[in-house]
Chain A
């Protein structure tokens, strides 16, 4: 059985909050740029975003190493997308953040590369789910919003990817794979550069 984490060890300091905020700024910028990869396919956007953000997440989580890193990251990402007018992002991402925290529950969850990678992959599964959830719960209103910036053909193509179960599952699987692979690369880079330089 794993030992419980002492409250003192798990207490966040202002230094931790500042680290979290700075790393999240970079991750949000990358998240904003990544939809350009839809020129390849709608299916890969979540996976590529997860792959690119993973080294930042691995370093941030290992540096802070306190319960709540993933949850706070999810909430900040959700709040950022509220500014774009997508309020449901916060709900979906916060739920996935809680699930991720449950995966990381216990002593040094963030230092464990496997559990950390699984939790991170789950977060990106949630990120990809954000495109699917509104089509399940408020399809008509969502389509009405999208129709302002899409032609009929492009809309049909997008709906094909987001509302066909096999495509949606493939997209979620690619996001999870991107997250896992990204964490694997992130851990290699973390050991090769950051740990060696004693920066975290």
Chain B
């Protein structure tokens, strides 16, 4: 069976964002997570479901057991749990081929710079987190901060040792990515084509309809209660 395309993912993400803002009750968030699980399975991403559910449950548990003195951090975990349906729908975009996403956005008359920015923002979160971990490992390997409290004893040095490699890595990444994109003709004025199917077909309509009906039911349930 053909999977829904990036255009459907974008529309579903928009609907999910509106729903996330509108819903108030906790059970509605649980239902939205369940709906997102169905959407991921529809997109042949069943293997990705379990980690998302685990993160969702852990965020809720941490927000629940976290001491009150941690203040807004508690709110961050709670908000992160609330955001999980969006992350799950966003994952379908992250696992879509960038070429098909760019093609769809271009056909929706989104300016090319915005298209490129959306693709970079969507795909670079895991890359940047990996870079941060690599810097931390590098610092440990060189024995600059041998103990966990060493960074606390020399905060200025820790600041410089951590942020400068990060800044330089970001500069290198942006230069490499821009050169690669230019080499692949990103600035070409020709209309973009894609080897991946991106037209709105019946499977997209069905997926969208299911999401609208279920989303309306979740929102309506909150009003009735």
Contact = CB atoms under 8 A, between A and B. Distances in A.
Given A18-B177, A22-B120, A39-B70, A63 B171 contact: yes
A5 interface: no
Contact of B167 (A29, A56, A85, A131): A56
B19 to A, nearest CB: 10
Given A22-B174, A42-B71, A32 B76 contact: yes
Interface residues of B, number: 51
A151 B70 CA distance: 12
Contacts of B73: 35-36, 38-39
A13 to B, nearest CB: 8
Interface in A25-56: 25-26, 29, 32, 35-36, 38-39, 42, 45, 52, 55-56
B68 A153 contact: yes
Interface stretch (B139-147, B158-166, B194-202, B210-218): B158-166
A146 interface: yes
Interface in B163-216: 163-164, 166-168, 170-171, 173-175, 177-178, 181-182, 186-187
Contacts, number: 146
Contacts of A193: 164, 167-168
Contact of A38 (B17, B70, B83): B70
Interface in B90-133: 112-114, 116-117, 120-121, 124-125, 128-129, 132
B17 A83 contact: yes
B29 to A, nearest CB: 10
Interface of B: 17, 20-21, 24, 26, 63, 68-76, 78-80, 82-83, 86, 112-114, 116-117, 120-121, 124-125, 128-129, 132, 159-160, 163-164, 166-168, 170-171, 173-175, 177-178, 181-182, 186-187
Interface of A: 12, 14-15, 17-26, 29, 32, 35-36, 38-39, 42, 45, 52, 55-56, 59, 63, 76, 82-87, 131, 144-146, 148-151, 153-154, 157-158, 185, 189, 193-194, 197, 199-200
The 6 closest A-B pairs by CB, nearest first: A38-B71, A21-B120, A149-B78, A154-B68, A15-B178, A19-B174
